[in-house]
A = this chain, B = another copy of it.
Amino acid sequence: MSAKKQKDTEDPPRGVLIEPGWTGTVRDIDPRSTPGFDGKKKDGQQRLTELDAPIDELQERLYAQSRATGEGPSVLLVVQGMDTSGKGGIMRHVVGGVDPQGVQITGFKAPTRAEKRHDFLWRIRKRVPGPGMIGVFDRSHYEDVLIHRVHGWADGNEIRHRYAAINAFEKELVEAGTTVVKVMLHLSHAEQGERLMERLERPDKHWKYNPGDVDERLRWEEYMDAYDKALAATSTEAAPWHVVPADRKWYARIAVQQLLLDALQGIDPQWPAADFDIRGELERLTATLD
């Protein structure tokens, strides 16, 4: 690229779109790259701050639009990634920029015994965003085709059954008016090592460390295979995946922010018309003024 690009070019940062029918591997995407963005960290941080305002207004419109009728579109942002890939930072610095009244974050841990008695989508369905809301999943139903594949908790047939169930579920969501944004935070093995090391070295980070993290790390290649297969099977027209390089935290944040902005702009929510008699109310209110 010849000239240094600024934000608001035709090519904002969005990570890498996984087209339906994709047969690649995430290994071919450089976790340190910054697709769509030529700036440095400082430029990225500035962009993150500047885009808060347009997202804020769109989110308020989205929320407002649904208040009158109790119906209307919504957004679901699904965030997946290996341990330390920066999911928490996305919640804090991207989602945290949005009015918290319009956002519902759900962190999906290992399912409880009660949850295990149901279909894997049961607990997911309960947390899809209502009209006007932005729902965010920190991990998701994709765990059921990722960790389950890696550990062999489900066989190939069952995994394929789950892909189909996921695609049907997401299609249903989209048809009901939810824009589904799916992000894989794509971290390198080396960067994960450094981040885990930092958690071990800093007492204020110990609480984030779990010995199981190293066990999973030892299965890195199996996880990458599982991601490749899951992305290939579930990147659909209705709900495509974006692989967002995540070794640079600042880049991952502006890319996810852009995807959220895209989703809101795609909905193009409008301020709802007044459902009351404006002139009559002006008179009524004026009569009460001090």
The copy count of this chain in the complex is 2
Tell me which of A203-211, A232-240, A243-251 binds B: A203-211
B100 touches A281 (CB 8 A): no
B100 touches A288 (CB 8 A): no
* Interface residue A197 (Cβ < 8 Å from any Cβ of B): yes
Q: What's the Cα separation between A200 and B283 when bound, in Å?
A: 11
Q: What's the Cα separation between A156 and B168 when bound, in Å?
A: 55
What residues of B have a CB within 8 angstroms of the CB of A196 in the complex? 285
| A187 vs chain B, min Cβ distance (A) | 12
Please provide the chain A residues from 52 to 73 with a CB less than 8 Å away from any CB of chain B in the complex. Answer: 64-65, 67-68
* Interface residue A9 (Cβ < 8 Å from any Cβ of B): no
A271 touches B209 (CB 8 A): no
Q: Which of B95, B101, B204, B211 contacts A276 (CB 8 A)?
A: B211
Given A100-B103, A100-B105, A217-B288, 14 further pairs, Cβ under 8 A: A64-B208, A65-B207, A88-B101, A92-B99, A190-B289, A197-B286, A200-B278, A200-B281, A200-B282, A206-B278, A207-B271, A209-B276, A211-B284, A214-B288
